[in-house]
Structure 1
Amino acid sequence: SRTILIKDDKGKEAPALDLFAQVIRYLKNHLLSALDTKGTTVNNKDIHWVLTVPAIWTDSAKQFMREAANKAGILTEQLTICLEPEAASLYCQHLPTTKLMGNPGTQSFLSNSSGTKYMIIDLGGGTADITIHQKQCDGTLKELHRPTGGPWGGTKVDEAFHQMIIKIVGASCFQKFKDDFKADDLDIHRELETKKRTIKPESNSKITIKLPVSLVTTFEEETGEKMKEVIQQMQYANKMTWQTDKLRMEADLFKELFKEPVNMLVEHLQELMKRDNLTDISTLLMVGGFSESPMMLDAVMKSFPDKKVIVPEDAGLAVLKGAVLFGHKPQSITIRKARYTYGINISPPFVRGDHSPARKVTIDGVDRVKDVFKKYIQCDQDIRVGEAVSGRHVTIKSNQSEMLLKIFASEDPSPKYVTDNSCEYLGKVVVKLPEAKERLKVDVKMIFGETELMVEAKESTTGKVYSSYFDFL
């Protein structure tokens, strides 16, 4: 929603669209300034910007990001929205084999022939995004399954660690620490980022985590107790010591923090691979910062011993570098799976037994049913870049001055009405009509570009064309 508000850490609200726009504007200006400093002056109008988003985001979320970018001074025609795992997939096509890590067999990834299927697992901070590609004869990629995933990124480990700390110091004490020592709280996040990438499945020596002294002093001032004594009375007595700014714990206790993201990811991947067209996937490509965690790599390799598991060097930068490649050659991915069923609301003649009487309306003496979903594209259908799906709409009133085409998306393969819970309103195309007593025809096309759905409506009498764009990735 364009009007949604976000609260800061003090409860102050601000429009989310404005905040996102400010972040994008900062990044844009930072790049232009860096180029200028190096003596490479480039005008904004000469740059095509690529904005990456998680694969599991909804159409409306992607549309929101596009509008935020527009507000930040990036024109629609200068902007492409790109799915993060797609970008990573393109990047790994261009890597020399020396830049690939993983289990035995990783060296053969780049020489995979056409028809080879592989899964991209993008593990970021907040989400895990999964996309499945198949190499085509012409070197392009075909998407075999619509993007899936969930909130199983690296922050799940952070959350588990915070819950462990809360068990020791209490929720109110931890909140007071976060309120009073914001910089110290950020230091905890930075420390965890380092530890997440260094802990290994075979680690058995104690892990030392540097924590701010202010956390201990806050606890002792609030409770009147000594941290060392409190630890000795808890379930962690034999697994942990905490003195001033050092928390030392058994390696197994720290490994437990990975349990939820590991289990959720592996279960999801196992379910995906049971699908008929995905049973013969040969390679798992792990990208994103959280993929650099040996714990995550080991879990995937052990769960799928018959697959090649690959982690590119600098996995955390795979999306960034792949986005540049996508911007230069967006046609690299030629066939995608429709994530949603797309359609337009219509009011056809009422048919007793087929339609709900509660939806019956009378227009120009004809009994009709309102809000029927006219399907153009069905979810999981293959859609080729540039492909158009056509339909015809007819006016339902005499002297109708315009036709309002409302575009909807649904996760249901066959929604009946646009008011069904599964349906989401994307936007509209307004077609102006000439004066006429007879019924007028409007021919509609849904055209799939690299990253957008274009809805084009042509009024048959005048031949005038109206169109609008929607993100459809």
Structure 2
Amino acid sequence: MACAQEDRLMTAAIDFGTTYSGYCFSFRHDFENDPLKVSANTWTAGTAGLVSLKTPTTVLLDSNQELVAFGYEAEDRYAELAEDEEHAEYYYFRRFKMTLFQSSSRLTRDTMLKDMAGGKQVKAIKVFAHAIRYLKDPAKQFMREAAEEAGISRNQLMIALEPEAASLFCKYLPIEKLQGSEGGIGAFKPGSRYLVLDAGGGTVDITVHEVQFNGTLKELDKASGGAWGGTRVDESFKEMLEEIVGGGMLEEFALSHTADYIDLFRDFETKKRNVKDDSPGKITLRIPITLQELYEERGEGEIKKKIRQTKYKDDLTWVGDRLRIDKPRFVELFSAACDGMVDHVKKLLKSPKVRGTNNILMVGGFSESPLLQKRIREEFPSCRVIIPQEAGLAVLKGAVIFGHQPATIAARISKYTYGISTNTKFDRSKHPMSKLKMVEGKEKCKDVFDKHVSIGQLLEIDDVQSEKSYWPLYSNQTQVSLPVYTSTIEDPSFVDEPECSYLGKLTVDIPKHGSDKEVSSSFIFGGTELKVQAVVKSTGETTSANFDFLEGEP
């Protein structure tokens, strides 16, 4: 997203989502007249006629790992290649962000992704321009570098946090475009609090904001969430089909009749978006005849007979190429996603930090589901549930507004404890012997977690946090390299404790000569990324501080 500088004629936002991606833009002169005048692209899925303001996050690469197609076009092109058995040399990636979200290993420049067909690997940084929807600090730099590789220069790129972008969009919306609003977000008085429920395709991001007296927003608790997005409903539908025809059969169908498999789930996507509480008693899906034919070829008989032998015998009916699902059974497909979301919000609203929050702002593509909206209203009757007309585009359009007006968030809550791995004087009365390190004849304690910021600490945007001094370990050093760590506990002692994770390193050049090589460093949480400032005390010069979030362990 382009920076909000006066010489920028246009601001554009790219939302690289788990399930769908898209972009919006607006010109500065339009923003000044009407902040909501934001343009969005429209995509159409040719084989199913599905019209969307976003396109699937699907990438097709050729044998040289060059882009062939993206989105609906990638799905259709790969389906054609698979039908003609010409797909073996291609790389096909679909919903790959969740693979990274679920990974237990650290994200680095060498992180690999396996394609969906043959399991061939490609570096993740080559596959997508912006990474991981549920952002962590390393992912932000990963996104920045990927965007630069795509041709977006560093000084023209900003990262917008999705719940904050959505809040900003809704703040400008008129009352009639905010379902459930009696006065609109913009009319909230200073001190008002609201929970942002950003329900996307893969993950759900939740944060709580308080309106400040100057109109900016203050985060009341650290952002949280989980994998309860719309794809969890897809997984439930797939699990139901697997119980009927078998997991192996469904996988074979996906590989041998790829186009039909894609059409089946596109049809389900349409039903998932539109089914309401007052919809007819049965939901009808078109099932490709090729699935029945494949089932019979494998000697399994008729699928409709198999249904009668399952727990779905009273809920599902197979007629020709149509599968009819009783609405209660269809609604049940939403249970896993909704249950996780509801339980988390209930726990969050009980927190003393967010006491008094009685507004829920629903944004994100999954928030457009009438069934999800109904569930949230039923579970939180004392809260006012507010849903913008364009819930699925709230983040994108809000990100464009954020690009024009970035100074919107006044303070955030730290999700982690931040500190630097350093060496201190060894104290035999309290330090374990395993941490003893001899340095130029002196006893040092290694791996000490020197805390700069505590988890849950309120961070005023662009304010300097905890300035501290460091010295080189060896007398002949010309650089001070400071490994930076995070922790999920408030007061870690050492950086190798299980709650700690390596984040990156800060490297500072120091004078080659002289005895005073003290370096003063501080953490500055500005915008949405961690910045570092370092000053060499002997010269008073501010040096460049490189925060490299994508290195391996030191």
TM-score, normalised relative to structure 2: 0.76
Letter in 1 for 2:171: Q
Map 1:436-455 to 2 at 5 A. 436=513, 438-455=515-532
| 1:409 matched residue in structure 2 | 486
Q: What is the distance in 1 between the residues matched to 2:309 and 2:143?
A: 50
| 2:473 matched residue in structure 1 | 396
| Secondary structure of residue in 2 paired with 1:110 | helix
| Secondary structure of residue in 2 paired with 1:330 | coil
Equivalent of 2:358 in 282, 288, 294: 282
User: Is contact 2:507–2:547 with CA below 8 Å preserved after alignment?
Assistant: no
| 2:536 matched residue in structure 1 | 459
Post-superposition shift, 1:436? Answer: 4.3
| 2:176 matched residue in structure 1 | 98
| Secondary structure of residue in 1 paired with 2:334 | helix
Q: What is the distance in 1 between the residues matched to 2:211 and 2:426?
A: 47
Report the CA distance shift for 1:110/1:438 in structure 2 as closer, same or farther (over 3 A).
closer
Letter in 1 for 2:395: V
1:19 to 2:95 alignment: no
> Identity over aligned residues, as a percent?
40
In proportion to residue count, which structure has more helix? 1
Q: What is the distance in 2 between the residues matched to 1:6 and 1:232?
A: 40
Map 1:131-170 to 2 at 5 A. 131-170=207-246
User: Is contact 1:134–1:141 with CA below 8 Å preserved after alignment?
Assistant: yes
User: Is contact 1:216–1:244 with CA below 8 Å preserved after alignment?
Assistant: no
| 1:361 matched residue in structure 2 | 437
Post-superposition shift, 1:330? Answer: 1.2
| 2:101 matched residue in structure 1 | none
Deviates more, 1:85-94 or 1:273-282: 273-282
Map 1:116-131 to 2 at 5 A. 116-131=192-207
Post-superposition shift, 1:450? Answer: 0.8
Unaligned runs of 5+ in 1: 25-50
Letter in 1 for 2:511: P
Q: What is the distance in 2 between the residues matched to 1:281 and 1:190?
A: 37
Q: What is the distance in 2 between the residues matched to 1:455 and 1:109?
A: 34
User: Is contact 2:197–2:361 with CA below 8 Å preserved after alignment?
Assistant: yes
Q: What is the distance in 1 between the residues matched to 2:384 and 2:122?
A: 46
Equivalent of 1:84 in 162, 165, 169: 162
Q: What is the distance in 2 between the residues matched to 1:353 and 1:187?
A: 69
Letter in 1 for 2:157: L
TM-score, normalised relative to structure 1: 0.89
| Secondary structure of residue in 1 paired with 2:166 | helix
Report the CA distance shift for 1:433/1:121 in structure 2 as closer, same or farther (over 3 A).
same
Q: What is the distance in 1 between the residues matched to 2:535 and 2:355?
A: 44
| 1:429 matched residue in structure 2 | 506
1:2 to 2:120 alignment: no
| Secondary structure of residue in 1 paired with 2:249 | helix
Post-superposition shift, 1:202? Answer: 4.2
Letter in 2 for 1:322: G
User: Is contact 1:114–1:137 with CA below 8 Å preserved after alignment?
Assistant: yes
Equivalent of 2:496 in 414, 419, 423: 419
Equivalent of 1:262 in 338, 350, 366: 338
Post-superposition shift, 1:254? Answer: 0.5
User: Is contact 2:525–2:531 with CA below 8 Å preserved after alignment?
Assistant: yes
User: Is contact 1:282–1:308 with CA below 8 Å preserved after alignment?
Assistant: yes
Letter in 2 for 1:84: E
| Secondary structure of residue in 2 paired with 1:126 | coil
Post-superposition shift, 1:75? Answer: 1.7
Letter in 1 for 2:112: L
User: Is contact 2:482–2:505 with CA below 8 Å preserved after alignment?
Assistant: yes
Q: What is the distance in 2 between the residues matched to 1:463 and 1:340?
A: 31
Q: What is the distance in 1 between the residues matched to 2:320 and 2:530?
A: 57
| Secondary structure of residue in 2 paired with 1:408 | strand
Post-superposition shift, 1:191? Answer: 1.3
Deviates more, 1:459-468 or 1:371-380: 459-468
User: Is contact 1:106–1:309 with CA below 8 Å preserved after alignment?
Assistant: no
Report the CA distance shift for 1:196/1:311 in structure 2 as closer, same or farther (over 3 A).
same
Report the CA distance shift for 1:52/1:322 in structure 2 as closer, same or farther (over 3 A).
farther
Q: What is the distance in 2 between the residues matched to 1:52 and 1:296?
A: 26
Equivalent of 1:69 in 147, 155, 163: 147
| Secondary structure of residue in 2 paired with 1:156 | helix
Equivalent of 1:314 in 385, 390, 394: 390
Post-superposition shift, 1:438? Answer: 3.2
Deviation digits for residues 24-43 of structure 1, max 9, x if unmatched?
4xxxxxxxxxxxxxxxxxxx
| 2:265 matched residue in structure 1 | 189
Q: What is the distance in 2 between the residues matched to 1:148 and 1:76?
A: 28
Report the CA distance shift for 1:292/1:106 in structure 2 as closer, same or farther (over 3 A).
farther
Post-superposition shift, 1:437? Answer: 6.2
Q: What is the distance in 2 between the residues matched to 1:201 and 1:383?
A: 43
User: Is contact 2:199–2:205 with CA below 8 Å preserved after alignment?
Assistant: yes
Post-superposition shift, 1:412? Answer: 1.9
Deviation digits for residues 15-74 of structure 1, max 9, x if unmatched?
111111xxx4xxxxxxxxxxxxxxxxxxxxxxxxxx6963x3221222221221121121
Post-superposition shift, 1:348? Answer: 0.4
Letter in 2 for 1:379: I
| Secondary structure of residue in 1 paired with 2:545 | strand
User: Is contact 2:506–2:548 with CA below 8 Å preserved after alignment?
Assistant: no
| 2:329 matched residue in structure 1 | 253
Number of matched residues? 439
| 2:86 matched residue in structure 1 | none
Q: What is the distance in 2 between the residues matched to 1:188 and 1:417?
A: 52
Q: What is the distance in 2 between the residues matched to 1:112 and 1:372?
A: 46
User: Is contact 2:221–2:413 with CA below 8 Å preserved after alignment?
Assistant: yes
| Secondary structure of residue in 1 paired with 2:304 | helix
User: Is contact 2:131–2:142 with CA below 8 Å preserved after alignment?
Assistant: no
Q: What is the distance in 2 between the residues matched to 1:134 and 1:151?
A: 25
Letter in 2 for 1:431: V
User: Is contact 2:420–2:484 with CA below 8 Å preserved after alignment?
Assistant: yes
**Aligned-CA RMSD value:** 1.8
User: Is contact 2:220–2:412 with CA below 8 Å preserved after alignment?
Assistant: yes
Q: What is the distance in 2 between the residues matched to 1:329 and 1:106?
A: 26
User: Is contact 2:421–2:483 with CA below 8 Å preserved after alignment?
Assistant: yes
